[in-house]
C-alpha cells in the first residue's frame, strides 16, 4: 500500500458520511439518530456528516422492518451509493422483523438477504451511543477494506 | 517566457493551489469549529476538511444515466481552474504575477465562472433537486452581485484605474469604509451561508446543485468552494485594508483580516435562519441598492 492509498484509507475512517434509509421503520430508530448530531453526542467529532443523498454517503443506515414495497427502494438506493460503502442495520427490525414479523405486508427476512450488512446495531430502539459505535465500527471496516461490498469487489477482481 | 512562468507559479504554488487549498481547508475547519462551539458542541478535528477531500478522491464516481459525461466531469475542473486563476491575480505579498491594466475586470469575470459551473452542474445532472438548486443559485447571483460589483467598481473609480495594484494602493478614505461595508453585505450570499443559504438548502432540496456528484468531481467542487473562501476573504483584505510598506506584515494582516471576516459571517450564519428567495432578493435590491447608491455617491462627490 503506497502513501496516498494509506492516507485515503485513513480518511475513510475519519470522514464517514451517512445517509438514512427508512425501510418501514416505526420512526423509533430514526429519531434516535437526531441526538447523534446534537451537542450531547456530537458525531461531527468523528467526522460524521448526515447527507440527504445516497450519492454523497459512505455508510447507509437502514432502519425498520422490511416491507414488501421497500425492497426495491433498498436495492435502488444501495446501488446509488458509490463504492466503497458500508451498511449499518439499525434496531431489531431489519434482523428479524421484530414485532412485525409474520405480518402479510412485511418481507419476513433478514436485511442481509437484500443487501450485505456490515454492522448490526441491536435494540428497539438502539441507544444513540450504540448507533454511534456502529458507525465508528463501519468506518473502521471501510479503512481496512473489510466491508462486505469491498470484499465482494475484491473477490470479483480476483476471479 | 518569464511572464508565463510567473503565471504558472502563481497558479500552482503561491497564491494558487499549493497554498490556497490548505488555507481553504483551514478556513473551512475554522468555520465548522466555530459553528460547533457556538452550538455547544466539540466540533470536527483539525484535519477534517482534508480527510473529507482525500476520502472523496478515493471514491467511485457514479454518473447518472442520460447525462453528458464530458460536461459532467469538466464542470468541477473548470470551476477549480477559474477560481484558482482568479486568486492568482490578487496582489497578495509575494505574488509573482505582473499587474496588468484591467485585471480587475478579468478577476470579476473569473469569479463568476464557479457560479456558472454550479448552475450548469445542477442542470446537466437532470435531477429535479439539482435543477431547483441551480435556478436558485442563478437568481441569487443576480441579487448579491449588485452590491458586490458596485463595491469593486466604486473602488476602481476611487483609484482611477481598473488595476488591482492601484486598488490596493489607493489612499485610504471614506469610500473604503462604505465600499467595504457594501462588499461585506454581499459576502454571506456569495459564500452561500445561512440567511442566504437558499441554493444549498439541505432540508428542502436535499443538497446543493452537486446532488448527483460523487467521488473526485465532488471533491473538486468542495475544493473550489474552499479556494473561493480564500479568494473572497483575501480580496476583501487586499482591497479594503490599508497596506503597510512591509510585505510580511501585510501578509499577516491580510490573513488575520480574512479570519476575522469569516468569523463574522459565521456568527451571522449561526444566529439566523434561512430566508426565502424573494426575501433575499428584496434585501439585496433594497439594502444592497441603498448601500451601492451611497457608495457610488461618495466616490463622485470628492
Ligand atoms: S427496531 Fe423498534 S424502534 Fe426500531 S423501527 Fe423497529 S420497532 Fe421501531
Length of chain A: 159
pLDDT value of residue B265: 92
Residues 6 or more apart whose CB falls under 8 angstroms from that of A76 comprise: none
From the list B189, B212, B186, the residue with the least C-alpha distance to B131 is: B212
From the list B76, B36, B30, the residue with the least C-alpha distance to B56 is: B76
Which residues of A lie closer than 8 Å to B, measured between beta carbons? 5, 7-12, 14-15, 38-39, 42, 44-45, 47, 49, 51-53, 55-56, 58, 80, 82-84
Atom of ligand 1 nearest to the CA of A24: 5
Residues in A closer than 8 angstroms to B41, CB to CB, are 38-39, 42, 44-45
Query: DSSP letter at B88?
Result: H
**A contact test, residue of B35, B39, B41, B53 with most A CBs within 10 A:** B41
The torsion of the CA quartet B67, B135, A73, A134, rounded to 10 degrees, works out to 110
What is the C-alpha to C-alpha distance for residues A121 and A113, in angstroms, rounded to an integer?
A: 17
pLDDT value of residue B287: 92
pLDDT value of residue B302: 66
Quick one: closest CA in B to A56, which residue? Answer: B214
Residue A16: strand, helix, or coil: coil
Compare CB distances from B215 to A44, A52, A82 and report the shortest one's residue.
A82
Looking at CA atoms only, how far is residue A16 from chain B in angstroms? 8
Atom of ligand 1 nearest to the CA of A63: 5
What is the C-alpha to C-alpha distance for residues B63 and B76, in angstroms, rounded to an integer?
A: 14
Cβ neighbours, 10 Å, residue B33: 19
pLDDT value of residue B215: 87
Quick one: closest CA in A to B217, which residue? Answer: A56
What is the C-alpha to C-alpha distance for residues B125 and B211, in angstroms, rounded to an integer?
A: 8
- CA dist list (Å): B56 to A87, A140, B29, B120, B218: 18, 16, 17, 21, 7
- Nine-digit cell string for B94: 509575494
Residues in A closer than 8 angstroms to B206, CB to CB, are 52-53
Rounded to the nearest integer, the mean pLDDT of chain B is 88
Q: Which H or E run contains A87? A: strand A86-90
Task: Say if CB B93 and CB B237 are below 8 A apart.
Answer: no
* Residue ranges for chain B with pLDDT beneath 70: 1, 302
Atom of ligand 1 nearest to the CA of A123: 1
Residue A120: beta bridge partners? A89
- pLDDT digit string, tens, across residues B243-301: 788 888 888 999 899 999 999 999 999 998 888 888 888 999 999 899 988 988 888 88
- pLDDT digit string, tens, across residues A25-71: 888 888 998 888 888 888 888 889 888 889 999 999 999 888 888 88
pTM assigned to the model: 0.90
- Nine-digit cell string for B70: 464530458
- Nine-digit cell string for A49: 456528516
- pLDDT digit string, tens, across residues B119-141: 998 888 888 888 888 998 899 99
A87 has pLDDT over 90: yes
pLDDT value of residue B157: 87
- pLDDT digit string, tens, across residues A118-142: 999 998 889 999 999 999 999 999 9
Rounded to the nearest integer, the mean pLDDT of chain A is 88
How much is the average pLDDT of A79-93? 90
pLDDT value of residue B1: 53
Amino acid at each position: 500500500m503506497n502513501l496516498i492509498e494509506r492516507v485515503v484509507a485513513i480518511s475513510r475512517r475519519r470522514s464517514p458520511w451517512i445517509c438514512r434509509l427508512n425501510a418501514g421503520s416505526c420512526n423509533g430508530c430514526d429519531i434516535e439518530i437526531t441526538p447523534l448530531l446534537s451537542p450531547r453526542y456530537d458525531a461531527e467529532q468523528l467526522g460524521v456528516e448526515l447527507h440527504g443523498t445516497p450519492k454523497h454517503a459512505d455508510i447507509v443506515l437502514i432502519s425498520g422492518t422490511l416491507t414488501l414495497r421497500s425492497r426495491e427502494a433498498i436495492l435502488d438506493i444501495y446501488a446509488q451509493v458509490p463504492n466503497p460503502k458500508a451498511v449499518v442495520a439499525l434496531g431489531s427490525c431489519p434482523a428479524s422483523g421484530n414485532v412485525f414479523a409474520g405480518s402479510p405486508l412485511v418481507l419476513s427476512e433478514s436485511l442481509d438477504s437484500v443487501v450485505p450488512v456490515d454492522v448490526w446495531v441491536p435494540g428497539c430502539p438502539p441507544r444513540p451511543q450504540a448507533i454511534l459505535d456502529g458507525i465508528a465500527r463501519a468506518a473502521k471496516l471501510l479503512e481496512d477494506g473489510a466491508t462486505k461490498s469491498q470484499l465482494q469487489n475484491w473477490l470479483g477482481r480476483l476471479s | 517566457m518569464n511572464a508565463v512562468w510567473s503565471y504558472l507559479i502563481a497558479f500552482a504554488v503561491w497564491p494558487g493551489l499549493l497554498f490556497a487549498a490548505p488555507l481553504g481547508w483551514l478556513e473551512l475547519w475554522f468555520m465548522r469549529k466555530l459553528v460547533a462551539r457556538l452550538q455547544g458542541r466539540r466540533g470536527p478535528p483539525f484535519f477534517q476538511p482534508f480527510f473529507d477531500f482525500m476520502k472523496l478522491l478515493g471514491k467511485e464516481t457514479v454518473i447518472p444515466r442520460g447525462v453528458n459525461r464530458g460536461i459532467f466531469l469538466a464542470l468541477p475542473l473548470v470551476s477549480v481552474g477559474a477560481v484558482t486563476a482568479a486568486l492568482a491575480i490578487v496582489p497578495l505579498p509575494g505574488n509573482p504575477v505582473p499587474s496588468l491594466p484591467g485585471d480587475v475586470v478579468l478577476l470579476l469575470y473569473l469569479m463568476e465562472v464557479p457560479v456558472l459551473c454550479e448552475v450548469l452542474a445542477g442542470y446537466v445532472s437532470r435531477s429535479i433537486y439539482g435543477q431547483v438548486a441551480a435556478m436558485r443559485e442563478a437568481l441569487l447571483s443576480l441579487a448579491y452581485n449588485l452590491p458586490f460589483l458596485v463595491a469593486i467598481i466604486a473602488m476602481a473609480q476611487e483609484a482611477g484605474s481598473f488595476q488591482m495594484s492601484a486598488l490596493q494602493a489607493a489612499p485610504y478614505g471614506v469610500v473604503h469604509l462604505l465600499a467595504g461595508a457594501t462588499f461585506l453585505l454581499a459576502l454571506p450570499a456569495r459564500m452561500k451561508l445561512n440567511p442566504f443559504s437558499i441554493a444549498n438548502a439541505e432540508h428542502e432540496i436535499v443538497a446543493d446543485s452537486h446532488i448527483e456528484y460523487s467521488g473526485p468531481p465532488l471533491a473538486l467542487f468542495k475544493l473550489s468552494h474552499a479556494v473561493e473562501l480564500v479568494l473572497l476573504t483575501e480580496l476583501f483584505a487586499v482591497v479594503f485594508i490599508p497596506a503597510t510598506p512591509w510585505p510580511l506584515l501585510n501578509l499577516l494582516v491580510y490573513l488575520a483580516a480574512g479570519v476575522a471576516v469569516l468569523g463574522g459571517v459565521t456568527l451571522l450564519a449561526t444566529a439566523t435562519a434561512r430566508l426565502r428567495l424573494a426575501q433575499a432578493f428584496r434585501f439585496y435590491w433594497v439594502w444592497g441598492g441603498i448601500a451601492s447608491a451611497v457608495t457610488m455617491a461618495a466616490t463622485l462627490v470628492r
